[in-house]
Amino acid sequence: MRLSYNILWCEDDAEWLEETEEGVKDHLKDLGFVAQISAVRSENIEELEAELNNSSNYDLILVDYRFNDKTVGGEFIKKIRDHNIYAEVVFYSGVSSEDLHRVISDHKLEGVYVAQRAGEPFYDKVFKVIETTVRKVLDLNSLRGIVMASTSGIDKKIFQIIKTFYNETLDDGKEKNTFREKILKRIKKKLEERLRNFGKVNYDDPWEYLGSTINFWSDLRIATLSKEILEQYFDAKNSKSDHNKFYQVIEQYRETSKKRNLLAHEEEELTSDEDGKMVIKVKNFKFDETTAKDIRKDLVEQDSMVNKFLENLSQKP
């Protein structure tokens, strides 16, 4: 399971879809996921076919009964199943539930929930199905994997920021020399036991060496981003509010990384809380479903901010 939650949504009313999907996105955000919605808006089966050929990795499928007064929703679901896609389906409409159940029966469809199109009943059913699918896929071990994999992805993006900042922002000469030396000196201080290998580093072009997380690991990358970029360069070219926001997110990510490292490297104890739910204890840190949800939400914000910074940095003035 990823931080993203993938939805295929077959709905011809663009205005209704735009309004309704915001509620679904907000609910998934509260659960610590980013909604990735692929929409099919035509009654033509060819459009659905093209989407299914493009991707089959859906966590949930939402299908309207009518498309431009044509009752093709049942055919759509059958086509989806014919592609061996067995994600949960919510089949909805303003008509009676009996009509939808009849279509499901006529097409011999399995794994299909029925919902009314009206606001609260629709959201109530869809939210319950979303929560069910999340619980099916996510146990504590896979949640731990999400934290470790996602923080690893952000680590790589932080390295991209550092390298892009060096290439695109700093002036050739003294600025670049100073920047390189600070990074390498910080690493040298931390890696005294590896001085023999470190002495072979090409100071003029150290990026292959720095690209390894063994040599230039997460803590040092965060320190470089915080000390060398944010404090010395970023503040001079951006508003104080932007600086503070990004700095705060990076400090939050530093704490997230510490939790990741505990889960990855420290001895754990598998136990249960007073409600009988499974809990992973690592030193003084407790990792359960609530903690995992909070970390996912933090990671979504942190990843978004790092992407924004990287995008802005890559745009030449």
In the sheet where 278-282 sits, what is the strand order?
A: 269-272, 278-282, 285-287
Q: Each residue of 280-310: pLDDT tens digit?
A: 788 888 888 788 888 888 888 898 888 888 8
Q: What is the pTM of this model?
A: 0.59
User: Any idea which of 15-19, 93-97, 277-281 has the lowest mean pLDDT?
Assistant: 277-281
Q: Measured between alpha carbons, how far is 276 from 278 in angstroms, rounded to an integer?
A: 7
Q: Measured between alpha carbons, how far is 100 from 36 in angstroms, rounded to an integer?
A: 26
Structural domains present in the chain? 4-137 (3.40.50.2300), 140-314 (no CATH)
Query: If we measure between CA atoms, which residue out of 89, 178, 96, 152 comes closest to residue 126?
Result: 89
Q: Each residue of 138-156: pLDDT tens digit?
A: 665 566 666 766 776 788 7
pLDDT of residue 277: 67
Q: Is the pLDDT of residue 62 over 70?
A: yes
pLDDT of residue 235: 55
Question: At 285, is the secondary structure helix, strand, or coil?
Answer: strand
* Residue of higher predicted confidence among 239 and 28: 28
pLDDT of residue 1: 37
Q: Each residue of 93-107: pLDDT tens digit?
A: 888 888 889 889 988
Q: Measured between alpha carbons, how far is 126 from 26 in angstroms, rounded to an integer?
A: 13
Question: What's the Rg (C-alpha) of the chain?
Answer: 25
Q: Measured between alpha carbons, how far is 166 from 270 in angstroms, rounded to an integer?
A: 44
Question: At 83, is the secondary structure helix, strand, or coil?
Answer: coil
pLDDT of residue 189: 79
> What burial letters (b/e) apply to 80-100, b meaning 16+ CB within 10 Å?
bbeeebebbbbbbbeeeeeeb
User: What average pLDDT does the segment 124-132 reach?
Assistant: 91
Q: Measured between alpha carbons, how far is 222 from 246 in angstroms, rounded to an integer?
A: 12
Query: If we measure between CA atoms, which residue out of 81, 39, 82, 44 comes closest to residue 62?
Result: 39
Q: Is the pLDDT of residue 116 over 90?
A: no
Q: Each residue of 230-263: pLDDT tens digit?
A: 876 665 555 566 677 888 888 889 888 888 877 7
> What own/partner pairs with CB < 8 Å and gap ≥ 24 does 190-198 have?
190/220, 191/215
User: What average pLDDT does the segment 204-218 reach?
Assistant: 87
